[in-house]
Homo-oligomer: A and B are copies of this chain.
């Protein structure tokens, strides 16, 4: 079935965009995600037990062939709720890939997130090296062992706020290989004589760094704090060519502590800019769509195939343009790349039916119903209606075959 963004399908020209949205939105129903897995990790690196919550994407249970990028969210006890809900919604909208979100709860923040001891501000800082050991040798290996994360190569996003954003920037400056994207929301920059900025000023101009993405957002800072923000923005802009894709965003109406609600949405969208199929690209055909995702892959430094939703758009565009054979080929590819997707098989069935290949359509439709039944998917009733219709067409008046 067609679940795309309103306004992209040729049929939408018959009615206004807003009216089509009336019709289509009933289908855009993300599966309700179950609650997160809660892990209490006995960390040798930290000398304490650390709580972590792992939220899996809506498709995790049924799309058993899929692997996912991972968002490691620091201060997860405060920001996990909105981060999971926002990234899930944006993924359902096709603006992001689905993510596994690992919310790392904090205990003694200033200890873990500062790179030096700086007793004039705090006694007991400088634990960042231990915290890195926790992430790199304990947490991430466990996540990548126990969950279907992207692995060849992996794609790990590190996000933090305030002190934990200071930590994220420290990683970007001093050990950029491990994480691939860094979201720093209102980072604390004044530690130890603005060390977080100085580290980046000296590290980023080096040409031998891996290509990475950095997002930096700041809120209603003024005077000295704003001056530090602008200094950080300059440091990001001074990275060696080709080593850093950076996005800096000011939210002058946001208080420091509330900033991450909007900044995380904005930062994930900036990281995945271009992930949603651009409007009108479906009409340019499959080769143009593949070229788009090849360029996106180069930008992200990780392979991004055309998402199932994008192939679905292209297929329905072709179908609406009476290019049925081409549509069937696109839907066949979508089903072969997403063999557990009930919707991919249902769409293929619709195209095969239009191509008068009724037996194959019945097989594909039956597969859609089987998958939707096995995983109790929200669109199951719609797939069943399509199958009944096909069966009636294949053998009018006959009792429905068991499926």
Copies of this protein in the assembly total 2
A93 and B189 within 8 A (CB) = no
Q: A85-B86, A90-B261, A93-B258 given as contacts; is B29 within 8 A of A78 (CB)?
A: yes
Q: A18-B225, A35-B35, A188-B22 given as contacts; is B93 within 8 A of A86 (CB)?
A: no
Q: A82-B85, A89-B82 given as contacts; is B21 within 8 A of A162 (CB)?
A: yes
* Measured CA separation A375–B290 after assembly (Å): 54
- How far does the Cβ of A194 sit from chain B's closest Cβ, in whole Å? 11
Q: A29-B77, A110-B23 given as contacts; is B189 within 8 A of A18 (CB)?
A: yes
- How far does the Cβ of A199 sit from chain B's closest Cβ, in whole Å? 17
- Residues from chain B with a CB closer than 8 A to the CB of A186 are 18, 21
Q: Which residue of B lies closest to A260 (CB)?
A: B89
Which of B7, B15, B110, B378 makes the CB contact (< 8 A) with A22?
B110
Q: Is A243 an interface residue (CB 8 A)?
A: no
Q: Is A245 an interface residue (CB 8 A)?
A: no
B257 and A25 within 8 A (CB) = yes
| Residue tally, chain A, CB below 8 Å to B | 59
Q: Is A121 an interface residue (CB 8 A)?
A: yes
- How far does the Cβ of A48 sit from chain B's closest Cβ, in whole Å? 13
- Residues from chain B with a CB closer than 8 A to the CB of A188 are 18-19, 21-22
- How far does the Cβ of A403 sit from chain B's closest Cβ, in whole Å? 25
Closest 7 CB pairs of A and B: A85-B85, A82-B85, A81-B85, A93-B258, A22-B163, A82-B89, A18-B188
Chosen A-B contacts, 18 in total, with CB atoms closer than 8 Å, are A5-B257, A16-B224, A16-B225, A18-B256, A19-B188, A21-B163, A21-B256, A22-B109, A25-B78, A25-B257, A28-B78, A30-B78, A78-B92, A82-B82, A85-B86, A89-B261, A90-B261, A262-B262
